[in-house]
């Protein structure tokens, strides 16, 4: 799918740009421009560690770096020598998502474009919405939510959440206790560091700042 042809994955060092191996270089340039132009302000000043997922020639590599730096004001901190040319496949994640069981029977009402869910979203269950999602309950590890709008969990968020599926970086993911397996806003992905369990103490929300997903107290600016 072209929507997943280029993905920005957040780490503590900065962003990795994940490229699909099967895409040819002209298509990569086209998709990169299409993804960045509408959201230039969200990526300006972002730190790019390197590319992943596709073998690039030195010339192709330098052209992509020039686009990110000169046209979109990003900081590129990697180099061609440290480029990971292995194919990037999150096989385990894809396998788990393919087994997710869509559920709609817990839906009890809409308000505007929001889908309201009452109860716990359990492991293996999947919620999708063309608007936002509001969960009056917990989201367990192994559960998956995907919304064109924002995601709000009035309980513990320990599953995977993908907000802004249509490329809206103004969306957010908020929870009374935000302790997710993975978060994604638009095409930017982040997850807790390996081997470390993040513990939320106050209601928090994940938003995009400078091309990165950051977590901040939900009531900080209210």
Q: The tokens of 128 are what? A: 């999708």
Q: Residue 217 pairs with which residues in a beta bridge?
A: 204
> In the chain, which segments carry CATH 3.30.750?
2-89
Q: Residue 86: what pLDDT? A: 42
Alpha-carbon 49 to chain mean position: 17
Q: What is the mean pLDDT of residues 136-144?
A: 93
User: What are the phi and psi torsion angles at 70 (to 5°)?
Assistant: -80, -35
> In the chain, which segments carry CATH 2.160.20.70?
92-217
Average predicted confidence (pLDDT) for the chain: 81
Q: What is the pLDDT of residues 38-87, one digit of tens each?
A: 888 888 888 898 988 888 888 899 999 999 999 888 898 888 877 765 44
Given the candidates 3.30.750, 2.60.40, 1.10.10, 3.40.50, the CATH classification of the domain at 2-89 is 3.30.750
Are 17 and 8 spatial neighbours (Cβ–Cβ below 8 Å)? yes
Q: Residue 44: what pLDDT? A: 83
Confidence at 10, pLDDT banded by 50, 70, 90: confident
- C-beta contacts of 195-203 below 8 A and 24+ residues apart: 200/175, 203/174, 203/175, 203/176, 203/177, 203/178
The top-level CATH class assigned to 92-217 is: mainly beta
Q: Residue 139: what pLDDT? A: 94
| Token pair 């061609």 in the structure block, residue | 80
Q: What is the pLDDT of residues 144-177, one digit of tens each?
A: 999 999 999 999 999 999 999 988 999 999 999 9
Q: The tokens of 174 are what? A: 């908020």
């Amino acid at each position: 799918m072209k929507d997943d042809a280029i993905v920005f994955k957040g780490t503590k060092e900065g962003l990795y740009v994940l490229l699909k191996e099967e895409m040819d270089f002209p298509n990569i340039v086209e998709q990169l421009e299409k993804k960045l132009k509408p959201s230039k302000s969200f990526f300006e000043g972002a730190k790019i560690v390197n590319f992943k997922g596709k073998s690039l020639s030195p010339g192709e590599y330098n052209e992509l770096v020039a686009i990110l730096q000169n046209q979109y004001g990003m900081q590129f901190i990697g180099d061609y020598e440290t480029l990971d040319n292995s194919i990037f496949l999150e096989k385990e994640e894809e396998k788990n998502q393919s087994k997710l069981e869509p559920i709609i029977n817990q839906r009890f009402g809409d308000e505007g474009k929001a889908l309201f869910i009452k109860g716990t979203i359990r492991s293996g269950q999947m919620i999708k919405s063309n608007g936002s999602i509001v969960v009056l309950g917990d989201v367990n590890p192994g559960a998956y939510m995907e919304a064109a709008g924002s995601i709000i969990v009035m309980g513990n968020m320990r599953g995977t959440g993908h907000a802004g599926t249509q490329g809206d970086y103004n969306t957010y993911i908020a929870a009374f206790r935000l302790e997710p397996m993975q978060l994604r806003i638009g095409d930017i992905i982040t997850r807790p560091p390996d081997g470390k369990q993040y513990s939320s103490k106050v209601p928090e929300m994940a938003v995009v700042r400078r091309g990165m997903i950051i977590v901040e107290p939900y009531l900080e600016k209210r």
